[in-house]
A and B are shown apart, each in its own frame.
Chain A
């Protein structure tokens, strides 16, 4: 603390130098994510030599024609790589949603699922998977997406008719979450057999099994759009720190901005949940980790959270694939196992700081 105080009076890096450093750090972060994804392609329960991994990647990325076995190609290019990319995108996207919601709702415990999106997604998924609603026209993912949006819509409606502002939205979200969870539980216990129940559990905890390239494009594309929207709105997010009134006095269209960002967040979360289930802790913990590194300005917090989220999820998934083979461990278990001690450490650190 004393060093910082002295710094405040004396020398500080010029704003230009500071932004160059942050840009540099972001670039390094991007490279780190790319290399982590590459590392994930080399790691796994199957025995594929590094040379073969390199050859498969060269074949697909560099249009080389090196002969590799069909199986090696399938493992590296059709299984590990799409999975690592979806992991990175999910981590980035969920972290991003966490940042936005924590700022908008002025609640450091907000996470992407506080608006009922994930419980709505589970309800959608069980209605399709257990009750067979829609008769096969809608897949599980589509059902989850529709459920997620319906739940969010209901929560917004509820928030409109109850108290105003951030607190009202959080309360409405709690109500919505409980309502849809209850419906999910009811359907599962009344109609599902043991196997269907296990399938739903997987969904609830988040699973990156079976990720393929279409999911990669969907996840990466949506996260990219979300990131752009959030970066543009970054200064508005800063403005919300002291509440709606101060934000308005700083020139922010409070209602409009809040609704726009909530909808964008809900859409992004709905897409990610419908692809990979409800992966917990990422959206809650990673924004705090980013703030610990770069402070509170959202123009820095947002990109750093995205990068940290991508790195975190990629490595958690890689480790849980390798460590728990041959069974599949829901990635949500892994994020909790790592996320909980990390969160506790963050809380302790925050307390000692303030």
Chain B
């Protein structure tokens, strides 16, 4: 009994594996597909090989990439806005529904994962270039380091909005300088250059600048105290003083009560919020709906019922500005965020 019990499982495994070997053994090697040379043509304005500085690294591109994977929604929406859907083979890390104007183009691009994909899933898309908005994808516990991608000839890019010098903020660094719109526009210019669509890039930046200026011109919230609540009802994550939330505040004249924090999204306590007595509350509406307080309605319900917050002036008078999660991140939707605040300011800005 001892003999058969001990030997049975390995025997089965052995038979299965031998069968596998037999299967694979009977096959001719597949031919390696050669690069066809009929690449989708760019505008012809970029001269290759191209080298750009990105987050302290030199990224060299031999020719216009044809198989782009974007690891974050922010980057994806930039690429789609640049009309690159036909050259994209994968997207990942979606926090909100795609911008309606980009929905049709997005349909043509396979979604690799709702969150971060594994390295193998990424490779399965056979990319030749990878873009990211957040540096954690390139760090420990991320998808793959940029060196590892380079080993198989895959170029990589990280948004300047996540970089300070050669350190990725999301990847573990800390900001010492405030985020500016210049970094966002720089990202668009970089990507447009790499993918040889510079004219479209310039047009996109011009359009965004124009919209932003139009929005901020008619908005001056006159230093009203505000806090930007991203998520979580127990320990709310709010905008700190150096990130995209602060940028929104600066552009619209709001006074972010948590501007003294150096983190992009520090977790605070409700007592601090109440002590700061905000007059305007900017709420993130997160479609991911994973935690209590992600949705806008949940946030409002919480504020209205929680004993600490329900007596705040801003809560009683419903001085809420609702923004999508993506609009609170350093992305092209930042401009949508500006426009939403502008609209709100036009309607309610003067009530105190």
Contacts and interface: CB of A to CB of B under 8 A. Distances in A.
Interface in B94-142: 112-121, 123-124, 126, 134, 136, 140-141
A209 B121 contact: no
B274 to A, nearest CB: 22
B350 interface: no
Interface string A11-38: 0010000100110110011011001101
A197 to B, nearest CB: 10
Interface stretch (A62-70, A90-98, A162-170): A62-70
Contact of A28 (B11, B28, B136): B11
Given A74-B151, A199-B141, A53 B118 contact: no
B6 A210 contact: no
A186 to B, nearest CB: 15
Contacts of A31: 10, 14
Interface string A311-334: 100000000010001111000000
B182 interface: no
Contacts of A78: 151-152
A210 B144 contact: yes
A295 B237 CA distance: 55
A47 B3 contact: no
A42 B141 contact: no
Given A47-B124, A52-B30, A54-B27, A209 B265 contact: no
Interface residues of B, number: 56
Interface in B234-276: 237, 263-267
Given A35-B14, A46-B120, A194-B237, A69 B20 contact: no
A71 interface: yes
Contact of A193 (B28, B33, B118, B265): B265
B123 A79 contact: yes
- Which of B10, B27, B263 has the most CB atoms of chain A within a 10 A radius of its CB? B10
B140 A199 contact: yes
Contact of B120 (A51, A54, A75): A75
Contacts of A71: 123, 126, 152
B17 interface: yes
A50 B252 CA distance: 59
Contacts, number: 154
A129 B140 CA distance: 9
Given A24-B7, A68-B32, A80 B140 contact: no
Given A29-B10, A78-B151, A140 B140 contact: yes
Contacts of B152: 70-71, 74, 78
B41 interface: no
A84 to B, nearest CB: 12
A42 B264 CA distance: 43
A343 B220 CA distance: 65
A46 B13 contact: no
A202 B118 contact: no
A199 B123 contact: no
A282 B253 CA distance: 58
A171 to B, nearest CB: 34
A69 B33 contact: yes
Contacts of B124: 45-47, 75
A210 B116 CA distance: 14
Contacts of B307: none
Contact of A311 (B1, B13, B115, B140): B13
Contacts of A158: none
A189 to B, nearest CB: 9
Interface in A186-217: 193-196, 198-199, 202-203, 207, 209-210
Given A32-B17, A328-B118, A293 B5 contact: yes
Contacts of B31: 67
A107 interface: no
B165 interface: no
B24 A50 contact: yes
A51 B24 contact: yes
Nearest to B264: A193
Contacts of B27: 49-51, 54
Contacts of B267: 193
B6 A74 contact: no
A293 B24 contact: no
Nearest to A57: B24
A302 interface: no
A69 B118 contact: no
Contact of A321 (B18, B118, B263): B118
A327 B172 contact: no
Contacts of A22: 6
A55 B9 CA distance: 29
9 contacts: A18-B2, A24-B7, A44-B120, A69-B32, A196-B172, A198-B141, A199-B141, A203-B141, A207-B141
Interface of A: 3, 13, 18, 21-22, 24-25, 28-29, 31-32, 35-36, 38-39, 42, 44-47, 49-55, 66-71, 74-75, 78-80, 129, 132, 139-140, 193-196, 198-199, 202-203, 207, 209-210, 293-295, 304, 307, 311, 321, 325-328
Given A3-B1, A54-B24, 15 more contacts: A25-B3, A32-B13, A32-B17, A35-B13, A35-B18, A36-B17, A39-B17, A42-B20, A51-B30, A196-B172, A198-B141, A199-B136, A199-B141, A327-B116, A327-B117
Interface of B: 1-3, 5-7, 9-11, 13-14, 16-18, 20-21, 23-25, 27-33, 92, 112-121, 123-124, 126, 134, 136, 140-141, 144, 151-153, 170, 172, 237, 263-267
